[in-house]
A and B are shown apart, each in its own frame.
Chain A
């Protein structure tokens, strides 16, 4: 009989001894834990903070399932049991409702949003004018074009991602747990005919305490305060690596201007974001762009080996573009300060691939900067001609937009801030974005109409060439041909350049459906295989160095453009850190628990009874002990001591 094994048996015993019939922990009778939740986190920039925050021990509130915007009156003014925890369907997750709750935040303990499996008609929590203060247009440069005065790029944007909320906001999936919450509300919290519901009520507690507050300088200063052996970091800078590679290798220890070197830069962005932490898929916003560029890079591999063009082509994938162009501004900074392999003067032209997958017609559009063209400081004509002539034999045309409108938000703007450079941004939208879910959690494979026949296994889906893949392949072919011509390559070989639809569809599958597939596994380094998951990777730039998309693009670029001559292997990665302006994010914790609120009456009663029992027993015992002699005097043992 070992005493060791009876240790945990005591726990079982405590459960049933004198109390319950079945051995349930008491905690399970009080709380239900919610597992599939995602918080909204706090982000800081140099002057402000955005995002959501809970108090340090979590926020508790009575559950209220919002039925309509008019129903908001109950939690905000009429309801007798504040604070309330408001549960919203996605159709009610609008700016007006959130702002009303923000104004009455002493009555609102938190918000939970139910994210459905099918996307609503449109939703974009980003601002209407993305990155308006950090692009090239300002009061000094094209003032009538700045701040989206001519073209509003994201008209559907409600700007919720850039608001500051003092209560936690979580997203819930549409599953059993959410049904349980709604049922709990219907059973107990619903007001019948306007009268107050009786206690006990269903309540919810949300924890998402963020240590980062105020703004970046304050937060970084607090990071430096070290009082203990284990200093606590209160915030981390957003940052990652850019990925770049060129068809002719550079010695990556030799920096600065290179004589007689002329480079065509082909750029795309890697990241996106959403209102909630890390759930960004950015299918149209970023994946369409960089997949096209990777396919173009692969298409150029053979012809650039056989007949190398005069100028070099540099493929650049920028991270952190969502947050005021972290990646591209760093590369420009390095070029200006002679810390990069080439210099701004070495750049011949820039071709950037923007959002290219959601067509509203058959044409794609070439955006350029009107200010520099008007001043004749740059000559985009060659690039435009090269692009337009590359569409021969494919089903669409490349058109320049009619009105004199600014560049859309793009990395090219950061290059133009430093120096006038000819550049074109290729996009599927003529003015406002076609993307109805810009920088939101609905910008996923469904937004690109990426559908597979239902009877295919995952490996078969990987190989299946979808229509989306076909259209992106055509775009990649155009880009590759134009780049080759722009780099001064042999004209007669241009028509042999074709992007491979199989590669494009495999990339789309890996980046938008499941990153844990056989092709990615073959391409990735063996020690990094565990970052591959059966879901799409998250494109939030994050605070860890080297997120999954960065790694994947790095290895894919090497795989698709590398050859037996090891062309770009050593140059495929360049460390990137933040320049002066940076955004910070707090360290989040998240846990949601659904629980009941106690009855005021019963608690006071319990306390009162307890205190009364204690005093009574003290009195009675004192009385008995002082009179013990008398009380217990009969049949006393003859030689016993006194009590």
Chain B
């Protein structure tokens, strides 16, 4: 009976990520490699922040709940900052790698553009982050029971899944915006990325008021999605063309190779 909860939550949390992977990344091995490398960088940031967390918890006063709460907030903020730092580090690494690849390759053009790298690395961060958030919960959802024997809300699994989906999408959008603003040296948009990340993480402190944390998160997802769309070269005109199926004429008119 609750295998259905397991599959439902898996599909909700990882549906968009799987779809994106299948259609845009799986065919190109280079993209797959950079996706995995991005996931690894996220994992490094997690490692560092968990190390700091572990040490601070051990030396803290375990009895005082206010101290523990404060420690939690500190941990969340630190983790977010470390993730963004690792994203920056990955960006720098990719820039260097691109120069190196260009030197080595026979062709004139780079095999993968920095914009594609931004998207792929963001998705890699998202995959790993989603996995760590969700796998533990999915494992427990398989048994015949659900949350609530001590009075917690029953909607835990569902809201965790939606939150994870939001995080995955957000990481992808953050990746795109982040790399774009690094390219163009727009430091203020970088700051906005970091601040929105902090905002989303701190919204989860509203749990178990799931409405209070999920609704603002999805608003942020939508807004960032729009921003990322515009950053990566989209525009309203293109969107209208696509949706009204006039894109073929556009392409023919511009003689662009597919």
A97: interface (CB < 8 Å): no
Is B11 within 8 A of A640, CB to CB?
Answer: no
Is B4 within 8 A of A603, CB to CB?
Answer: yes
Interface flags for B152-185 (1: CB within 8 Å of A; 0: not) read 1011111011011101000000000000000000
B205: interface (CB < 8 Å): yes
Is A634 within 8 A of B235, CB to CB?
Answer: yes
User: Could you say which residues of chain A place their CB within 8 Å of the CB of B79?
Assistant: 13, 17
Is B149 within 8 A of A631, CB to CB?
Answer: no
Is B146 within 8 A of A19, CB to CB?
Answer: no
Which of A14, A20, A184, A635 is close to B233, meaning CB atoms less than 8 Å apart?
A635
Is B53 within 8 A of A18, CB to CB?
Answer: no
Is A6 within 8 A of B242, CB to CB?
Answer: no
Which of A597, A606, A632, A635 is close to B145, meaning CB atoms less than 8 Å apart?
A597
User: Could you say which residues of chain A place their CB within 8 Å of the CB of B101?
Assistant: none
- A13 and B49 in contact, given A600-B1, A603-B1, A610-B9 (Cβ under 8 angstroms): yes
- A632 and B234 in contact, given A5-B54, A19-B207, A642-B258 (Cβ under 8 angstroms): yes
Interface flags for B105-126 (1: CB within 8 Å of A; 0: not) read 0001111110110000000000
Which of B7, B167, B250 is close to A610, meaning CB atoms less than 8 Å apart?
B7
Interface residues of A in 598-642 (CB under 8 A from B): 598-600, 602-611, 613-614, 616-618, 620-623, 625, 627, 629-637, 639-642
User: Could you say which residues of chain A place their CB within 8 Å of the CB of B235?
Assistant: 634
Is B109 within 8 A of A641, CB to CB?
Answer: yes
B212: interface (CB < 8 Å): no
B19: interface (CB < 8 Å): yes
A488: interface (CB < 8 Å): no
- A606 and B16 in contact, given A12-B53, A641-B112 (Cβ under 8 angstroms): no
B189: interface (CB < 8 Å): no
Is B16 within 8 A of A621, CB to CB?
Answer: yes
Which of B146, B207, B242 is close to A20, meaning CB atoms less than 8 Å apart?
B207
Is B8 within 8 A of A6, CB to CB?
Answer: no
Is B2 within 8 A of A26, CB to CB?
Answer: no
In the bound complex, CA of A597 to CA of B5 (Å): 12
B238: interface (CB < 8 Å): yes
User: Could you say which residues of chain A place their CB within 8 Å of the CB of B1?
Assistant: 598, 600, 603
User: Could you say which residues of chain A place their CB within 8 Å of the CB of B4?
Assistant: 603-604, 606-607
User: Could you say which residues of chain B place their CB within 8 Å of the CB of A642?
Assistant: 256-258
Name the residue among B23, B113, B201 with the largest chain A CB count within 10 angstroms.
Answer: B23
Name the residue among A8, A9, A203 with the largest chain B CB count within 10 angstroms.
Answer: A9
Interface residues of B in 50-109 (CB under 8 A from A): 50-51, 53-54, 57, 68-69, 72, 75-76, 79, 108-109
Other contacts beyond A200-B154, A630-B251, A633-B233: 7, CB < 8 A: A29-B156, A203-B144, A596-B145, A602-B146, A605-B8, A631-B233, A641-B113
How close is B196's CB to chain A, nearest CB, in angstroms? 15
- A637 and B113 in contact, given A29-B149, A598-B2 (Cβ under 8 angstroms): yes
A1: interface (CB < 8 Å): yes
- A630 and B247 in contact, given A19-B160, A595-B143, A640-B109 (Cβ under 8 angstroms): yes
How close is B169's CB to chain A, nearest CB, in angstroms? 10
Interface flags for A108-146 (1: CB within 8 Å of B; 0: not) read 000000000000000000000000000000000000000
* Contact surface of A with B, Cβ cutoff 8 Å: 1, 3, 5-6, 8-10, 12-14, 16-22, 26-27, 29-32, 60, 184, 200, 202-203, 205, 594-600, 602-611, 613-614, 616-618, 620-623, 625, 627, 629-637, 639-643
- A599 and B146 in contact, given A29-B156, A632-B234 (Cβ under 8 angstroms): yes
In the bound complex, CA of A617 to CA of B12 (Å): 10
User: Could you say which residues of chain B place their CB within 8 Å of the CB of A29?
Assistant: 147-150, 152, 156
In the bound complex, CA of A618 to CA of B20 (Å): 7
Q: List 18 A-B contacts (CB under 8 A).
A: A3-B47, A12-B57, A21-B69, A21-B205, A26-B156, A29-B147, A30-B140, A30-B143, A202-B149, A597-B145, A598-B144, A598-B146, A614-B18, A617-B20, A630-B242, A634-B235, A640-B110, A641-B113
B241: interface (CB < 8 Å): yes
User: Could you say which residues of chain B place their CB within 8 Å of the CB of A8?
Assistant: 54
Is A640 within 8 A of B257, CB to CB?
Answer: no
Is A630 within 8 A of B238, CB to CB?
Answer: yes
How close is B34's CB to chain A, nearest CB, in angstroms? 14
